Structure 1
Amino acid sequence: MNKKGIGSINISFRSTILIVFICLLFILILLFRSLSNIFIRNISTNFAIHICNSEFPLAIQFNTQNNTYLSDDISIKEEVLNLLGINKNNLVNTLNKEIKLKFNDNNKLVWESVSPYTLIADSISKEEIAANENNKSDTLSQGIDAGNNLPNINKNAYDSGLRLKELGKTPRVLIYNTHTCESYPPGPNNTLDQKINIASVGDELVKELENNYNIYTIHDKTIHDIYGYIDSYKRSGDTLSKYLKQYGDFDLIIDMHRDSITSKKVVTSKINNENTANIRFVVTKSNPHFDKNMAVATSLSTISNSLFPGFCRDPFFYNKGSYFFNQDKSNNAVLIEVGSIANTTTEAKASAKYLARIFAEYLHKKYTSR
């Protein structure tokens, strides 16, 4: 074969290779664009919000009419894992040290019973509270269900003389939940279902305060603990600061929790032949204005002991607590625990009318002394 023929073959071969390369490159470009579109479409709303917030701080709220929304402190780690296609069971294992999650038979997210705050020295551990109960006057009787053998307290829940003339336009009481997912039997110890968790008790308290006493109350149901307990007080502190900025101070600010001790006897009272979950105030001594907050807790406890003996347990003290439990933000802020995992949701909700009476008595004295 002559050189001219060989040259023609080489040119033809190179052309073929070039065409194949261009075709492959074109296919790769199309594939990349397709995968990019899929990737973008699968970015979750919360992740997108987080990215936006990095550049443009936003106040994203859902169902704002009921003051219910997810905290805007989004975990990028979870979103990235989701985008990588890691299934929820593997995700649970991966994040187990940070977020104790599990899924029930109905594929709904629930939380395992865990010991919160074990990673920071100053953070509150409800299991530690339970252990310390052995050193207090109301010592634990583990495993004893005394709920059906309690002395009955006969006392009217309501006092119409405490009712304000009108509801007014300015909120007087703010209720929020640092650990919104805390719940009661017969359900899981922690759940997002706000019909049975601690938020449901707050809802019941709002009804009692507004319907029976004309006390305008805000109940914020931000879920502060869904991304882990470690920074839940920081997140709830941000929520509280937003309300203080909007309304100024409140006459009473309640961070409502559920205790974790297991003695039914310690955390249950019977009032008007109805089992109720006992209440307890928790305060931090290192708070810059501890005396003011303690005065509020003491006043509420005194009123409770006068009206419903045994309904309010002795206050529990911490030297600091996590972020002072945000009690440093207002002289009128207190943390209150309504019952424990030994109580039912029904018992906790039953406490709301008696708690409302206590608050109404406290505010009545506060207003008449001005």
Structure 2
Amino acid sequence: MTNVIAITMGDPAGIGPEIIISALAEGELSGIPAVVVGCAATLRRILALQITKPAELRIIDQVSQAQFAPGIINVIDEPLADPQALEPGKVQKQAGDLAYRCIRKATELAMAGDVSAIATAPLNKEALHAAGHLYPGHTELLAKLTNSKDYAMVLYTDTLKVIHVSTHIALRKFLDTLNQPRVETVIRLADQFLKRVGFTHPRIAVAGVNPHAGENGLFGDEEIRIVGPAVAAMKEQGVDVYGPCPPDTVYMQCNEGMYDMVVAMYHDQGHIPLKLLGFYDGVNITAGLPFIRTSADHGTAFDIAWTGKAKSESMAVSIKLAMQLA
């Protein structure tokens, strides 16, 4: 297994290309063993705008041809259908297709052992769907490409780590489909993930669904019927897990060190506290894949794309974390 990581461009009309260049062209990440999978013509357009540090692009056909030195960015070219027609800050079919192809290529490299991890720049779901790739996001796409059945989204900072029972579905659908086996699976994934990244005895808290974790059925019975039994079942399997915990306090408790990770029930329950505390350095990780995958924990930011205003901290942290975890 190589120690090289692959970095996917994401949606080329967003901030992905510029934050990748910014992250790799200067500082401690300059010269690291990484290859970018993306459109070389788009990267050249970004460099020509002089909104990032200057860098030398080295176009390669395979990872073994990469040369790692400060100021050099190795690129496996995945070209746009019409690079010059790409408009920054707009939803475009060819951009969504490129984002998909970059993920597919990087996954092939990881599954073949050519790279040890993937760090992904943000994609745009509307553009992805316009190109005919009907996935809710990176997590589900990567699970499909790797035939992974049990997987979950993790949001990761130094002090707060959150794993999700559900993500990109309507809240009504979440309530209708919540079940004990899925909660047990996510608790198990949390335990396995934390051990994989160095926690010898992970402490996992499970958030409730309802206010005050239902208050013994006063505000809802999902905790009594589903979440509580799942926690009890995983305790019997030796997992150090607690809950269901009141959602309005458990994230603060984890952030202060009482727990190592929180199991969030749905998208916003986990995303809001983590983005409040770690918007610029939070990293998105997919647990349950056969390789490490990290991502900048923000969107494509079309409103500031190709202006030089985008901050590359989250992308840099995700690249660094991919290397550390792999």
Q: What TM-score bracket applies, with the shorter chain setting the length?
A: under 0.3
Structure 1 length-normalised TM? 0.24
Give the alignment's TM-score, normalised by structure 2. 0.27
